[in-house]
Amino acid sequence: MSLSNFIPNVWSARLLENLNNAHVFANLVNRDYEGEIRQLGDTVKINSIGHVTIGNYTKNTDMSAAETLTDAQTTLVIDKAKYFNFQIDDIDKAQTKPKVMDAAMRDSAWGLADEVDKLFAALHATATTKKGTTGAPEIGGVLTAGSALYDLLIYLSIKLDEYNTPRQGRWIVVPPWVHGYLLKDSRFINSTDMGNQMRTNAMVGRVAGFDVYISNNVVKGGTAESDYHAVIAGHPMAISYAEQIASVEAYRPQLRFADAVKGLLVFGYKLVRPNNIATLYVKQAAS
């Protein structure tokens, strides 16, 4: 495998494609500002306007003077960076399949996406609605059956309704054991396109108005007891995210007979609407 065949912009595009396919949480947020970043330290200004006042109209009567709109601004900072750096020894290169570099790039993309998703999963503590936190009057509690879980998901849906969260596009990310509980509930099976449609990119169905995704990055230890999982539900409008493959470089390490590749991912995210995500703390019953 010769470095003369390495075209950085092509590899960078391939890496980004693989990265998007590996994301779970990061594919459930809005990425409206992604094309505006280039490097670590970039900032994106996110503007919003206040509500427009609605008045009563009376025939043959002047309306109030035109309202001056208020505005608000928040900043999305590209303040995080992750990298990979691997090599393939010339001896190993001669003994392996030609696509070994592509396989290594796919694994690098998966690793970067996994690190990003872990950061998103940690946003559970910043949600306005939290059910099951220590000392709360309503406890998510120990789950022993799918029906109990379904009722808790309905609770999350109602709380999002109360904060005017759009119903279209709502999502929830669960650990594998919670998905297993849902599979025991006919309401989940019946609402998942009659239980027959294949899902992609970790989406496993629908329940209580949520698209259900599965991830091992759902935080465990979200409450005083370390065996609680923090299940997050929400809507893309709640979180803004932007990422950019800032650099992908091929090189020959000075003291090795090897081909090496290093890459840098820069990104940033911001919870702009904490009312539009909700967290449920639950744990699995002892078997």
Residue-range domain boundaries for the chain: 3-49+70-121+240-270, 129-238+275-284
Assigned CATH for 129-238+275-284: 3.30.2320
- Count Cβ atoms below 10 Å from residue 171 Cβ, excluding itself: 21
Quick one: which of 27, 18, 15, 12 has its CA closest to 217? Answer: 27
Give residue 253's pLDDT.
93
Gap between the Cα atoms of 107 and 19, Å rounded: 9
Give residue 105's pLDDT.
83
pTM of the shown model: 0.77
Quick one: fold of 3-49+70-121+240-270? Answer: Major capsid protein gp5 fold (3.30.2400)
* Fold matches, 3-49+70-121+240-270 and 129-238+275-284: no
Q: Mean pLDDT over residues 186-209, rounded?
A: 65
Residue with tokens 């999502």: 171
Give residue 6's pLDDT.
58
Q: Mean pLDDT over residues 4-20, rounded?
A: 67
Q: Mean pLDDT over residues 126-149, rounded?
A: 62
Quick one: which of 174, 169, 125 has its CA closest to 152? Answer: 174
Give residue 139's pLDDT.
43
